[in-house]
Amino acid sequence: MASGYILGISAFYHDSAACLLDDEGIVAAAQEERFTRLKGDERFPGNAARYCLEAGGIAAGDLDAVVFYEKPLLKFERLLETYLDIAPRGFGSFRRAGPLWMKERLFVERDIREGLSGYGGKLLYTEHHESHAASAYYPSPFDEAAVLTIDGVGEWATATIGVGRGAELELLEELRFPDSLGLLYSAFTYHAGFKVNSGEYKLMGLAPFGRPRYVDRIYSHLLDALDDGSFRLDQRYFDYRGGLRMTNRRFDQLFDGPPRKPEAPITQREMDLASSVQVVCEDMVLAMARHAHRRTGLSNLCMAGGVALNAVANGRLAREGPFSEVWVQPAAGDAGGALGAAYVARHKYFGTPRPAPTGDSMRAALLGPEFGADAIRDALDASGARYEEVRGTTPADSAAAMIAEGQVVGWFHGRMEFGPRALGARSILADARDPDMQSRINQKIKFREGFRPFAPSVLSERATEYFEMTGDAPYMTFVYPVAEARRRTPGETGLDGLPRVHEVRSDIPAVTHLDHSARVQTVSRRENPDFHEVIASFNRLTGCPVVVNTSFNVRGEPIVCTPRDAFACFARTRLDALVIGPFIVRRAGQDEASLAAAAPGTGAMGLD
């Protein structure tokens, strides 16, 4: 049975998104934050949905179904039962959350139909982890696979194990709230002074600076783990069930003090906390995966859910785990739930067969809006930008030449990425060989913590020369060791703690983390030809097939979507140049008034 057009929707918690499928596969997918410029925007993804419909050349009335990525009534049941179970302690939290649920989140159907201009067709619902599992399995390159999903919490489930074969997907086991690996990791994120649901990346990046001296305390007091990867969390140390914080005073006492205040200096304690919970996270992911392997007997594994974005754990699973192949959905968080929900409807509700995969069907995650030369020119003109058109060469060659000269370049080309990573369409690029580049980009481009590592993008055909890995890793979902031959041992620098970020640990120091690791993106000519050409051109100039690739945004903002966004980000940073479609915008010669107008309130950040 043909399924026609299906629109998947995720919303009302964080990272809302929309995805359109047709009978051929994924037409378009995007997060709402990219259009509203509100990071993690949780509201109904009206802009993202309109984009998806426009990309498909259809109206809402042409849809065969709209699918929401979870079941709100089941989620409300969990919230209500939790509050009743701990009453009266959680009354303050319930007083805040209850009216919101009654007013908005229990009326999802109304919001969807209104948001889609009075859509009157089928409206379906999947369970949260079913959406995650579908987003992991159906676009994967496997015709059968075990499926593992791990996150904070959906309705009740916090982790599931399933199996996919052909068009069939079945969830076999689940771990239920309040026992949650995602919430445990978020509790430490909160305690280290970072924002829950967005600061987990920072905690992962901080971990190599610390010592795992709290691991025994975590296992002795917080987590009772079993061999099958299931566990119980001692709720006496947490406050997320009914309070407005992740942890409480008992947690403070156990881990030597209260939570770090945001923006306060990071101490050795926060580094050690990060290191410790990262070790525990990796151990538990491995335990769950081994149980999934025993339960299913399959050699391939697909993963999704927020914890599946822990690339360090994924790298360890790929190296030490029982599976021959591991594939992680690049939009593994809640945004990817929109994609999974649409797939559930396609194969479960409509019964559409799944074609035999010839590779993954995510199309390099390049599923968002794109802009032609005329639209880019109009945006640059409207912004008062001074630019030149590339002539006699290609934008890729121009970008590569500037990178080889030590410049930091904004690269805006083709369809925007779906998911949290910039994969060569909305990227900031630089020379990975420059030992000062990491600090330069963190301080003057991204305006973020100096310890944050950057990812290398490497030609797929040269990846094993620089990293200890096999196969491809196109989505930055795995951390691998830098190849032994590329490493350097820092001499006596006298540095300790975070300043150790300045130590040179390889011949690509800008992308080599403290433990000689890197979150790798392999770039193939077939899947990502334009970005491949940038790196290939850089390689021809320098002999190095690796560049720094970080997302085209500044701290606290989403990745840029439109040409106007790109110039505004260029204006508020110290990017040397912006290569946008067939045009180059150079820092030198720009009108300061135009820069200030494009980035109001920043004055181009007033940086030197």
3-state secondary structure of 269: helix
Token pair for residue 109? 């159907």
Read out DSSP for 289-313? HHHHHHHH--SEEEEESGGGG-HHH
Alpha helices by DSSP H, listed for 117-180, are 128-137
Q: Whose CA is closest to 6, among 131, 114, 106, 111?
A: 131
Pairing of strands 409-412, 426-431: antiparallel
- Cα separation, 145 vs 327, in Å, equals 10
For the question of residue 14 being annotated catalytic, the response is yes
Place of tokens 């990491």: 438
Token pair for residue 397? 């060659």
265: left (phi over 0), alpha (psi -120 to 50) or beta: beta
Residue 49 contacts residue 66 (beta carbons within 8 Å)? no
242's CB contacts (< 8 A; 6+ apart) are 82, 83, 86, 89, 90, 91, 93, 94
List 14, 129, 191, 516, catalytic entry: 14
Tell me how many degrees the CA angle 40-46-47 measures, rounded to the nearest 5. Answer: 75
Q: Which amino acid is at 291?
A: H
Residue 262, Cβ neighbours under 10 Å: how many?
10
Q: Which amino acid is at 494?
A: G
- Cα separation, 169 vs 130, in Å, equals 9
- Cα separation, 338 vs 510, in Å, equals 35
Token pair for residue 331? 């939009």
Pairing of strands 65-68, 123-125: parallel
Residue 85, Cβ neighbours under 10 Å: how many?
12
Token pair for residue 185? 């990791």
H or E element, residue 223? strand 223-225
Handedness of CA 308, 311, 313, 318 (dihedral sign): positive
Q: Whose CA is closest to 554, among 597, 591, 604, 507?
A: 604
Catalytic residues: 14
